[in-house]
């Protein structure tokens, strides 16, 4: 995409973090905004920022098919097909993988994976129909995964699974779109530790589903909070990378290119048939700290 003015952006998780920063850039570019978030008060504050833009703000739980279907209908009725869809809403969770409850799995996969699935299945056909009707139409979907979708860090299995699935979905979507059109493209965003508020995402978890956290989950939450809060790359910088990728038609969007070394090590393990390597080889003190905490 080379032009944004007057075009339509649909953004989930729009009230904070990457979603809010992407919305700010989209607003500066003159886009019409569809802002979605599950947290109503934060969504109201966010949408108030964009008084100069045409805005449709809706409280949406992206894990709920019927709510996403109603969103797609509202977008079609108000604006027609969107040009940019940012399937971004996500939650964080950790703990030893066998300690995740069924409710943990349903919550994390519901938001992180099924939220993206719903965005893809509902908005892609709208964009393809618009492309078929207009040779000048340009569309682009960006799905938020994580470096945890390219690696497999310990003590955060349910999150890893959700983000690996988003990477696989996005890579397949890229290939599928290439079979049928050159007007609609996609990218996958794989951020590392960036201060966004995801470490507090439990605030939006339905209370009926929230059980008492295990020790490994408490330890994982504390370590992730520390890592995220000390992140040097900002959400605004990541949002700028998203728009660079739109302009450059680039698929992989990486906030920390230096972390790709870990991906290379993982792929080498696979190709050479080795057991997975030590994820803490570069920072053994962190591995020792985690082992001691879990065994203590």
Phi and psi, residue 144, nearest 5°? -85, 115
Give catalytic residue positions.
Answer: 159
In angstroms, the CA 93 to CA 166 distance is: 16
- At which residue do the structure tokens 């032009």 appear? 3
In angstroms, the CA 78 to CA 72 distance is: 10
In the chain, beta strands by DSSP E: 8-12, 32-37, 55-59, 84-87, 139-144, 184-190, 252-254
Phi and psi, residue 150, nearest 5°? -115, -15
In angstroms, the CA 190 to CA 138 distance is: 23
Length of the chain, please?
Answer: 296
Q: Which two tokens stand for residue 178?
A: 């290439």
Q: Which two tokens stand for residue 234?
A: 């900002």
In angstroms, the CA 193 to CA 225 distance is: 9
């Amino acid at each position: 995409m080379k032009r944004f003015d007057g075009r339509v952006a649909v953004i989930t998780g729009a009230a904070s973090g990457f979603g809010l920063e992407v919305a700010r850039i989209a607003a500066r570019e003159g886009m019409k905004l569809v802002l979605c978030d599950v947290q109503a008060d934060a969504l109201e504050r966010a949408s108030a920022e964009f008084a100069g833009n045409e805005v449709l703000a809706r409280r949406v739980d992206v894990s709920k098919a019927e709510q996403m279907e109603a969103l797609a209908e509202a977008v079609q009725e108000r604006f027609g097909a969107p040009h940019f869809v940012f399937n971004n809403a996500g939650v964080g969770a950790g703990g030893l993988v066998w300690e995740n409850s069924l409710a943990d799995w349903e919550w994390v996969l519901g938001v992180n994976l099924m939220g993206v699935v719903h965005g893809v299945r509902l908005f892609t056909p709208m964009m393809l129909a618009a492309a078929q009707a207009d040779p000048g139409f340009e569309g682009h979907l960006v799905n938020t995964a994580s470096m945890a979708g390219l690696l497999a860090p310990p003590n955060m299995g349910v999150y890893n699974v959700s983000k690996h699935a988003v990477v696989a979905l996005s890579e397949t979507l890229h290939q599928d779109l290439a079979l049928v059109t050159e007007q609609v493209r996609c990218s996958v965003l794989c951020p590392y530790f960036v201060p966004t508020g995801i470490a507090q995402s439990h605030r939006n978890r339905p209370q009926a589903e929230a059980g008492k956290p295990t020790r490994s989950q408490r330890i994982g939450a504390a370590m992730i909070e520390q890592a995220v809060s000390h992140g040097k790359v900002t959400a605004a910088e990541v949002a700028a990378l998203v728009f660079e990728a739109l302009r450059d038609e680039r698929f992989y969007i990486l906030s920390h290119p230096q972390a790709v070394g870990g991906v290379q090590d993982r792929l080498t393990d696979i190709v050479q048939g080795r057991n997975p390597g030590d994820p803490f080889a570069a920072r053994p003190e962190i591995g020792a700290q985690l082992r001691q905490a879990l065994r203590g």
